Each structure stands twice: as structure tokens, then as C-alpha cells.
Amino acid sequence: MIFIMTHDCICRNTGPSFVRAKMEFERRQKVAEKRQKEEERKQKYLERQESFKASVRKRKDRNKMLSKRTRKGQPIMSGRAELLLEKIQRQQKS
């Protein structure tokens, strides 16, 4: 018996039916695994993007608080005090 395979499809329907069924099952299983891996890859990518955006947002907020100034150019200390308080609270939790 000769089985000719081209581009993941059976071109010639020769051979016992269980062999064809087995080959079809294996092909569908590979496609399902490929699809699942692609979904996992997309999920990981989205998680990384979310964490990156969160860190950028956190940095912007911190810099905004530290860069506030009075009309005369003096730094506003309330923002700095808030950041120090948050830092102390995080250290006490861990």
C-alpha cells in the first residue's frame, strides 16, 4: 500500500480505513495542540503588556509627585512625604 502525504492532507485514499482514521486523528490532534500553544503564547504576551503598562503608570505617578513645585520653584514636600510613608508601610508588611 502506498500513502502519499502532501501538505497535511491525504491525497490518495488507499489502505485500511483504521489507518486513515488514525492519521486524521493525529492531524487533528496536532492542530489542536498548535492552537492551544498559540493561545498560551497570546495570554503570556498580554500579561507582560499589562505588567509593563502598570510599571510605566506607577513610574509616571511617582515622577509627577516628585516634580511638583511652588511658584518660586521650591519642591512641594507633601508628595515626597506621601511617597516615604508608602515606602515605610510596604517595608512593614514584608
Cell of 58: 506607577
pLDDT of residue 61: 93
Neighbouring C-alpha atoms within 13 Å toward the C-beta of 32: 6
- Could you state, in order of their start, the residue ranges of all structural domains in the chain? 5-93
Contact indicator for 87, 79 with CB cutoff of 8 Å = no
Give the pLDDT confidence of 3-60 residue by residue, as tens digits: 555 555 555 555 688 888 999 999 999 999 999 999 999 999 999 999 999 999 999 9
Residue entry with cell 507582560: 48
